[in-house]
A and B are shown apart, each in its own frame.
Chain A
Amino acid sequence: MPVNEEFKPTIVAFCCNWCSYAGADLSGTNRLQYPANVKIIRIPCSCRLNPMFVLRAFQRGADGVILCGCHPGDCHYTTGNYYARRRMTLLFSMLDFLGIERERTRVEWVSAAEGAKFAATMNDFSATIHKLGPNRRLEDLRCRKD
């Protein structure tokens, strides 16, 4: 990759249907800006996120992955976000072990009423990824099309 080309990170945001996806919609309704390289994937609950999806995203060239769910205790399915929290904690230590920067993955709780928090989180996360630069460690070059 030429050095002078501007780095445009790819960020995948997994959002639970009940809180965070609605929070993302709200930040849109309130016209709160965040970088366009954040792309949202809707999942029913944060506990639907298989850590494999995160690895897959990194493998395919994502530079950052963020999971957003309902605040602890507010899960639509009662306990889903607790499962998600535990699984992600395990994934974090695994990524640490693999030498992937800890900051490339993040878990945030965003309620349906927190449009502003959603936008702020995405701005902050995007800035962090910008600083880190492209993900080269887990990216599987065989997946690249170019």
Chain B
Amino acid sequence: MQRVGVFVCWCGSNIAATVDVEKVAEVLAKEPGVVFSTNYQYMCSQAGQEMIQESIAKYNLTGVVICSCSPRMHENTFRKTCEKAGLNPYMVEIANIREQCSWIHKDKETATEKAVILGRAAIAKVHLNAPLTSGTSPVKKRALVIGGGIAGIQTALDIADAGFDVDIVEKEPTIGGKMTQIDKTFPTLDCAACILTPKMVDAAQNEKIHIYSYSEVSSVKGFVGNFKVTIKKKARYVDETKCTGCGLCTEKCPQKKVPNAFNLGLDNRRAIYIPFAQAVPKVATIDADYCTMLKSGKCGVCSKVCTAGAIDYTQKDAFIEQEYGAIVVATGFNPIKLDQYDEFAYSQSPDVVTSLEFERLMNAAGPTGGTLLRPSDGQHPHTIVFVQCVGSRCDDSKGKPYCSKICCMYTAKHAMLCREKYPDTDVYVFYIDVRTPGKNFDEFYRRAVEEYGVHYVKGMVGKVVPENGKLKVQASDLIGNQQLHIDADMVVLAAAIEPDKSARPLATMLTASMDTNDFFTEAHPKLRPVESPTAGIFLSGACQGPKDIPETVAQASAAAAKVIGLLNKDHLVCNPCTAQPDELMCNGCSSCEKVCPYGAITYVDKEFRGPNRTTLLRRVAQVNPAVCQGCGACTVACPSGAMDLKGFSNKQIMAEVDAICR
């Protein structure tokens, strides 16, 4: 039995006007275990707090019940008050007699009666409270950024700037991501490479940043502050430390018929390659699927021409283990596959391209050297049709239900660039809506229409038929209320964007939650937009939702700020109200593990005393208090009732129920 002190607050007249506070204190004084009961005008004031502290000492209180405003308001205040008086802060319970009593009832008698019952419930609970101590866990002062696109690079640079070590894991042979493939950026039309490549070099030269290129995360263990990550460094058959990036091997390799992934298959590269001239790290990689030496053991040209002796055909995948305090997910996006959209003849004609392919065709470093030529015959196109929302805003299962956000703007950019470079081309854009919310975005779109004479047509393209070297486009013009037939030379499809395929397995590894579209969900859509609900996992860039470059960079820096805040701490204070299994009752059935949204529950084989001096080895659940957030899902899932939640235990809640129903 605790020695309970009850403190009824008037809250000026907020409570006292409708609740007879003196009577409440008087009635509650008769409750079992209550050794002191009083009321005061403002319990949260300094005088009120001092009175609580003095009473704790004077009456040797072991539990405190405060009948006042909502615990959401002053629970922490009163916990601190009691802690200063030497009482465990978790021996305090609040009866909410303001928001949930005095403010909603007008009749004094009813309100007083209710306040008494709420007070009783709190007293019943506090009798079963146990002192809880917040554990602490150390923080490993190193961050991992998964994905080396502009989001990952920016996050890494910002974290490194604050003096912490950062590792970037990038699955491609070079960092840079999608932005490296883009020609110009909207709405300023500055060249993407000119703003991105210096950042890539910065990241490579920064002493605090280590780049694992051509690598993947293969396992993640641990929890906030203490993640243990295994990174798989895929064999690139080139010694990174020796390769100088001279590129001689990529010129001499006899295997010339490898589709160039960097140019989206619009041209070919060799089996040994450097994705592009500004790649970071500038190290060659052998494509094992095409290399004759690796496949048949005959060739070895690259190793003969390499003056640095960097080629190593025997290289194997390497696994690196590293510990991190925080993990940033920056896995980015990809345009969707267009197999489902054959009405646009994407698979039938090479002149039907996606916007990203079009980006490469316009790029000075692209397969055509920046001259816009039709992929089929290398001729200059005179009529180009852009189709918006291919797979975006779809209400069927073919596409994505969401707006891909960036397509309206990049299509306006493409249309504008076409008209600027080749004023003789006719450019049509078919749209459902033009969405241009963003700084200087609508002005940019209007320039495309007004200054550059791009034909914007509200309506959708129904069908594209390749015929005699032309693309017959059938479309509807909703405003003109007519069917349009356009003989186009090229059709550009603004394919919806989706999260990278690597994101889903990664989310499982990180126990970070995703929405139905495989975008990572944030801890709070408005107030915690760069954190995952899983502690220690942060979100950067398009892995969380479609974003343009400025938004991505802003979010990347925001995520970095959150990481720096975390890494700056030497220890993390854990919420002590965590789940706790009773090992004697636990039978290791895994029910709790399955419902735990945080992966806080693991199992260990423990020795127990059996009959006749034997020892039994039993599998029992263990909760990691640093990871457990205290939701209590496991406590209900446990069939043997072994799992309980500290601070909200079965007994405590039952006692409250009993007190209310009494």
Contacts of A83 in B (CB 8 A): 595, 633, 636-637
**Would you call A50 and B636 a contact (CB within 8 A)?**
yes
Q: Is the CB of B100 within 8 A of A24?
A: yes
Q: How distant is A8 from chain B, measured CB to nearest CB, in Å?
A: 10
Distance in Å from the Cβ of A23 to the closest Cβ of chain B?
10
Given A53-B657, A57-B657, do A27 and B104 touch, yes or no (CB 8 Å)?
Answer: yes
Q: Does A102 contact B (CB under 8 A)?
A: no
SS class of chain A's interface: helix, strand, loop or mixed? Answer: mixed
Q: Which of B107, B650, B661 contacts A57 (CB 8 A)?
A: B661
User: Which chain B residue shows the least CB distance to A32?
Assistant: B104
Q: Which of A49-94 contact B (CB under 8 A)?
A: 49-53, 56-57, 60-62, 76-80, 83, 87
The reply on B28 being an interface residue by CB < 8 A is: no
Complex interface: chain B residues within 8 A of A48 (CB): 631-633, 635-636, 645, 648, 653
Task: Please state if A36 and B662 are interface contacts (CB–CB under 8 Å).
Answer: no
* Category for how many chain A residues contact B: 35 or more
Q: Is the CB of A77 within 8 A of B637?
A: no
Q: How far is the CB of A66 from chain B (nearest CB, A)?
A: 13
Select which of A10, A33, A45, A52 is within 8 A of B105 by beta carbon: A33
Q: How far is the CB of B452 from chain A (nearest CB, A)?
A: 43
Least distance between B657 CB and chain A CB atoms (Å): 5
Which of B114-122, B342-350, B489-497 has 4 or more CB atoms under 8 Å from chain A?
A: B114-122
Do residues A145 and B104 form an inter-chain contact, with CB atoms below 8 A? no
In the complex, the chain B residue whose C-beta lies closest to that of A77 is B631
Instruction: Tell me whether B121 and A47 are in contact (CB under 8 A).
Output: no
Q: Which residue of A lies closest to B117 (CB)?
A: A39
Q: How far is the CA of A32 from the CA of B104 in the complex (A)?
A: 6
A41–B96 Cα gap in the complex (Å)?
A: 10
B446 on interface, CB distance cutoff 8 Å:
no
Contact with A along B610-637 (1 / 0, CB 8 A): 0000000000000000000111110111
Cα distance A47–B630 when bound, in Å?
Answer: 11
Chain B positions within 8 Å of A50 at CB level: 635-636, 650, 653
Least distance between B634 CB and chain A CB atoms (Å): 9
Interface centre among A12, A22, A29, A40 (most CB of B within 10 A): A40
Is residue A43 contacting chain B, with contact meaning CB distance below 8 A? yes
Known: A25-B72, A60-B657. A47 touches B633 (CB 8 A): yes
Q: How far is the CB of A103 from chain B (nearest CB, A)?
A: 18
Smallest Cβ distance from A15 to chain B, in angstroms? 9
In the complex, what residues of A have CB within 8 A of residue B217's CB?
Answer: none
Closest Cβ–Cβ distance, residue A119 to chain B (whole Å): 7
Q: How far is the CA of A25 from the CA of B111 in the complex (A)?
A: 16
Of the candidates B113, B631, B654, the one whose C-beta lies within 8 Å of that of A36 is B113
CA distance A29 to B117 in the complex (A): 21
Tell me which of B104, B513, B637, B658 contacts A33 (CB under 8 A): B104
Cα(A78)–Cα(B510), bound, Å: 14
Cross-interface CB contact of A45 among B106, B631, B656, cutoff 8 Å = B631
Interface status of A44 (Cβ within 8 A of chain B): yes
A25 contacts B70, C-beta separation under 8 Å: yes
Residues of B within 8 A of A33 (CB): 104-106
CB within 8 Å for A29 and B103 given contacts A39-B660, A60-B658, A78-B521: yes
Contact B104–A60 (Cβ < 8 Å): no
- B662 touching A145, Cβ below 8 Å: yes
Which of A24, A42, A49, A77 is close to B597, meaning CB atoms less than 8 Å apart? A77
CA–CA, A36 and B114, complex, Å: 6
Minimal Cβ-Cβ distance residue in B for A50: B636
Please pick, from B98, B595, B648, the residue contacting A43 in the complex, using a CB distance under 8 A. B648
Assembly CA distance A35 to B453 (angstroms): 66
Query: Which of A22, A47, A53, A76 has the most chain B CB atoms inside 10 A of its CB?
Result: A47
| A26 CA / B113 CA spacing, docked (Å) | 22
Q: Which residues of B124-177 are within 8 A (CB) of A? A: none
Say if the beta carbon of B533 comes within 8 Å of chain A. Answer: yes
Instruction: Check: B92 CB closer than 8 A to any chain A CB.
Output: no
Q: Once bound together, how far apart are the Cα atoms of A83 and B634, in whole Å?
A: 10
Which A residues fall within an 8 A CB radius of B? 10, 12, 21-22, 24-29, 31-34, 36, 39-45, 47-53, 56-57, 60-62, 76-80, 83, 87, 119, 145
30 cross-chain CB contacts under 8 A: A10-B661, A24-B99, A28-B98, A28-B99, A29-B103, A31-B103, A33-B104, A34-B104, A39-B117, A40-B100, A41-B656, A43-B653, A45-B631, A47-B631, A47-B633, A48-B633, A50-B653, A53-B657, A56-B654, A57-B657, A57-B661, A60-B657, A60-B662, A77-B631, A79-B513, A79-B595, A79-B597, A80-B631, A87-B636, A145-B662
Additional A-B contact list (9), CB under 8 Å, known A28-B100, A29-B99:
A36-B113, A42-B96, A45-B632, A48-B648, A53-B657, A56-B657, A76-B533, A77-B629, A78-B533
